[in-house]
Amino acid sequence: MSVQSSAEEELLEKFLDAAARGHAPQVSSLLAHVPSLINQTGSSGWTALMLAARHGHFPVVEELLSRGCDKFSVNSSSQTAYDVARFWGHRHISGLLGRPDHGALPVLPGSDLVPQENYFSRETLDRLSARRTDSEWLEARRRDADTVYLLFSSLSPMVSCSGDHGSEGNMKLCRLRYEDVRDLLQEPATVLVFLGVERRKKPSSSSSQTQAVGEEPPAWFAVGTDEDAAELLKRCREKNCLFPKTPNRDLLKLSEEEAGVVAPARSVLAWHGSYSFCATCGSGTRPEEAGHKRSCLNAACRSRRGVHNTCYPRVDPVVIMLVIHPDGNQCLLGRKKVFPVGLFSCLAGFIEPGETMEEAVRRETEEESGVKVGPVQYVSCQPWPMPSSLMIGCLAVAMSTDIKVDEKEIEEARWFPRQQVIDSLFRGESPAFVVPPRQTIAHQLIRHWVGINSNL
């Protein structure tokens, strides 16, 4: 029995060695004789697929996949072969392993980028933009008993807190009803914005709470008012209600679903607060289209003819970039004076009129750090309602390495080696710096870089 076990172990080691060396014919031959080898692990806990992915042997990976190997098995570090390929920079292999089993092409051909949802990005509601001009339908929804109203004071939403107010995930939006805000809606200074309706959930065979056919899902509105905050809080029936005083920090405590509602609500309300007067002629304006447009009260104003961007909520595009050192193993991070002690983040800046995203990345990087940038690759974006930015996340490759900071923008910038970044990201024993919170796109860009090829 021991002789047979020893022979099996020797055969397995031979098979794993062939996969690690990229010897596809030998891998195929061994599997033809002993198919059970395909998903077995060696002393390291790695399968043949993981070893082939680690060393970039595309033909071996193809052969193993064609024979039905398990691409979802994990090693002792909870990594799949796909994770291994991404970490070691073998994009052609991670693209193959990340492809759905039905053979569909990757979302971005020629890249292993996968769709990424950032905080504030979740589309919790169906916006139903076509209904914004349907006054009869909107009036019915406003008065409906199931309609949800979110109350804002100085752009802060009314929330309820449980437990430690400083902890994450304990903050929830207060959901008011029509009777709670009925009098506020009659006041001229109140701004009402239709946010959309709740997305219909797919019916489940085990659930008896499916929505009746033809029944409309609840509508959501945001209400902005200048009424005294203390008086507004009396309208809420929940306990421990408040209006956050530091939105940049406190709004990050909401759930992903509620953050996705606050992002458009806060941005549109901020726009209303800044555009009470027409930017074209200076006359007053009034809200239209369920709060998604403002029209000039001057009938002769040219903004009332054609399409004018002064009439619609604005979005400010911002590039945020993780700049990679030419050696591929360092990234450029900077800090502003207002940052908490030890925090370093990605460089960022507004896109200027007539400027491409790529050129904005190059210009802002050189202005802030003195580093020249070449290739630029888009990764993902994030709405940032502080008050209405769209953060466009990119990776960029440096063409120079000397740093000369613009002290007006940032106080310090440094090249951080990959290992220091990993230690800081995963909270090693003595991290070199503090990474931005996980809800920020800066954090996600850093995580993204750690898992891909260091040589872009």
Q: Per-residue pLDDT tens for 179-234?
A: 999 999 999 999 999 999 999 765 544 444 545 556 789 999 999 999 999 999 99
**With 70 as the cut, is the pLDDT of residue 106 above it?**
no
Q: What is the pLDDT of residue 110?
A: 41
Q: How confident is the model at residue 169 (pLDDT cuts 50, 70, 90)?
A: low
Q: What is the pLDDT of residue 50?
A: 94
**With 50 as the cut, is the pLDDT of residue 4 above it?**
no
Assess contact for 131 and 290: CB atoms under 8 A.
Answer: yes
Q: Over pLDDT 70: what percentage of the chain?
A: 89
**With 60 as the cut, is the pLDDT of residue 408 above it?**
yes
What DSSP string runs through 33-82?
A: H-GGGGG---TTS--HHHHHHHHT-HHHHHHHHHTT--TT---TTS--HH
Q: What is the pLDDT of residue 389?
A: 97
Q: How confident is the model at residue 105 (pLDDT cuts 50, 70, 90)?
A: very low
**With 90 as the cut, is the pLDDT of residue 81 above it?**
no
Q: Which of 221, 226, 246 is nearest to 154 (CA)?
A: 226
Q: What is the pLDDT of residue 211?
A: 54
Q: How confident is the model at residue 331 (pLDDT cuts 50, 70, 90)?
A: very high
Q: What is the pLDDT of residue 202?
A: 58
Worst-scoring range by mean pLDDT, 84-93, 165-174, 183-192, 389-398? 165-174
**With 50 as the cut, is the pLDDT of residue 358 above it?**
yes
**With 90 as the cut, is the pLDDT of residue 82 above it?**
no
H or E segment and range at residue 121: none
| Spatial separation of the C-alpha atoms in residues 172 and 169, rounded to whole Å | 8
Residue 334 DSSP SS3: strand
| Spatial separation of the C-alpha atoms in residues 217 and 133, rounded to whole Å | 19
Q: What is the pLDDT of residue 163?
A: 64
Q: 45: which 2 tokens?
A: 């806990």
In this predicted model, which residue has the larger pLDDT, 153 or 75?
153
Instruction: Indicate the average pLDDT of the chain.
Output: 88
| Spatial separation of the C-alpha atoms in residues 151 and 158, rounded to whole Å | 6
Instruction: Please tell me which of 160-164, 198-202, 403-407 the model is most confident about, judged by mean pLDDT.
Output: 403-407
When pLDDT is averaged across residues 251-265 and rounded to a whole number, the result is 96
**With 60 as the cut, is the pLDDT of residue 455 above it?**
no
Assess contact for 109 and 100: CB atoms under 8 A.
Answer: no
Block residue for tokens 């609500």: 265
Worst-scoring range by mean pLDDT, 55-59, 237-241, 438-442? 237-241
**With 50 as the cut, is the pLDDT of residue 100 above it?**
no
| Spatial separation of the C-alpha atoms in residues 224 and 326, rounded to whole Å | 49
**With 90 as the cut, is the pLDDT of residue 403 above it?**
yes
Q: What is the pLDDT of residue 146?
A: 96
Worst-scoring range by mean pLDDT, 146-150, 166-170, 293-297? 166-170
